[in-house]
Amino acid sequence: MRVTIIGGGILGTAHALEAVQRGHHVTQLEREVEARGATVRNFGLVWVSGRAPFELDVALRSRELWEDIGSRIPGVGFRPAGSMTLLRTPREVAVAQDVAARPDAASRGFELLEPDRVRDLNPALRGKFLAGLHCSMDAAVESRQAMPAIRAYMAETGRYEFVPGTEARSINGRVVRDDQGNTYEGDLVLVCPGAAHGGLTREIAGVLPVRRVRLQMMQTEPLDEPLTTAIADGDSLRYYPGYAGEALNELVANEPQDSVAGDDRMQLLCVQRLHGGLTIGDTHEYEEPFAFDVQESPYAYLAALAEEFLGRPLPAIRQRWAGVYSQCVDPGQLVSRTDAGDGVWVVTGPGGRGMTMSPAFAEQTAELINL
């Protein structure tokens, strides 16, 4: 088949890779010269630990696919580093004890560790915490280099073409016309528009059951030692549905978040890039219109918390940014797939799962539409 994919982010690229691996010919259009949206404005985390029970199998399958992709495409930078959620209060420890005792704990790779054991696994964590919830199944990829690496791999098959700096303007039948008057005719069109819910997406699919979410993040200069796992703080227990239960209810009822963290719907996530710098975040803003600038208070809060865990000052902050991603409105829906008719599908709305689950979403789509 000849497949035209609109969108060069992780969701579109994962669908391109799935199609190429199944023997099809893919033309992928991206309106920017390189992906510039949520795909490159994230942690690069393959995050299994906090997924809700109904999405755990998909997350584990995607993690398996990422490991396979990383073995074939070293430039993706896959590493099975795991994560450590650092706990600062007895109630946070109680939540970790609860989830570590559940039947699915082994699937997630959960183990609750005392501080000395945490430092054995991640010696850079010399700061203050009561315990750490280790998740051995979490992993990371290099989000800013993964897309070019995957595209180069696909190009070697002779069945893939990337067309950057090209905006799709119309789809008539299965013929895509771009903003330069060029046309691309195929047997199937997959539109993976990211957070661009208007324009062509709305024209062919109407109003989708998705919303946009804005976040703020930052990047440090290289840390002079390895951070052997990704790290999270206890606020991530409140944010991820996999930790829901009576112990979490007790935590939320009796320990309000710090005012800055609560106002900006924050959790600490931190991962070390291959160049040594730390990517740190994040915040969540759900109501539009979003601010066009970034606020300093969340950055100061996150930096102080990271320093508390590390027991040392952070390297200098060298980059700050905001990003916007697409999320399904229904919390029970992982991704939105809309049949726009005549061989055209729109796939969007993975939310914060995009980097984690896109390979599995692409596999599911391929099975759904008999690719």
pLDDT, one tens digit per residue, over 214-254 is: 999 999 999 999 999 999 999 999 999 999 999 999 999 99
Which own/partner contact pairs does 287-296 have at CB distance under 8 Å and 24+ positions apart? 288/212, 290/212, 290/214, 290/322, 290/324, 291/214, 291/322, 294/216, 294/320, 294/321, 294/322, 295/216, 295/264
Whole-angstrom distance, CA of residue 4 vs CA of residue 161: 10
Percent of the chain with pLDDT over 90: 100
Helix (H, G, I), strand (E, B) or coil at 167: coil
Maximum pairwise Cα distance, the chain: 63
Query: What are 321-359's pLDDT values in tens digits?
Result: 999 999 999 999 999 999 999 999 999 999 999 999 999
Q: Taking the mean position of all CA atoms in its chain, how far away is CA 128?
A: 28
Query: What are 149-170's pLDDT values in tens digits?
Result: 999 999 999 999 999 999 999 9
Domain 1-80+140-208+334-371 indexed as CATH 3.10.20.70: no
Closest CA to 317 of 236, 215, 217: 217
Helix (H, G, I), strand (E, B) or coil at 80: coil
Q: For residue 248, what is the enclosing H or E element?
A: helix 246-254
Q: What is the pLDDT of residue 8?
A: 97
Q: What is the pLDDT of residue 56?
A: 98
Q: How many contiguous H segments (helices) and E segments (strands) does the chain have?
A: 12, 19
| Helices assigned H by DSSP within 43-185 | 53-72, 90-100, 105-108, 115-121, 143-155
Average pLDDT in the 13-26 region? 98
Q: Which fold has domain 83-136+210-328?
A: D-Amino Acid Oxidase; Chain A, domain 2 (3.30.9)
Query: What are the residue boundaries of the structural domains of the chain, listed by start?
Result: 1-80+140-208+334-371, 83-136+210-328
Whole-angstrom distance, CA of residue 30 vs CA of residue 207: 22
Query: What are 86-144's pLDDT values in tens digits?
Result: 999 999 999 999 999 999 999 999 999 999 999 999 999 999 999 999 999 999 999 99
Helix (H, G, I), strand (E, B) or coil at 219: strand
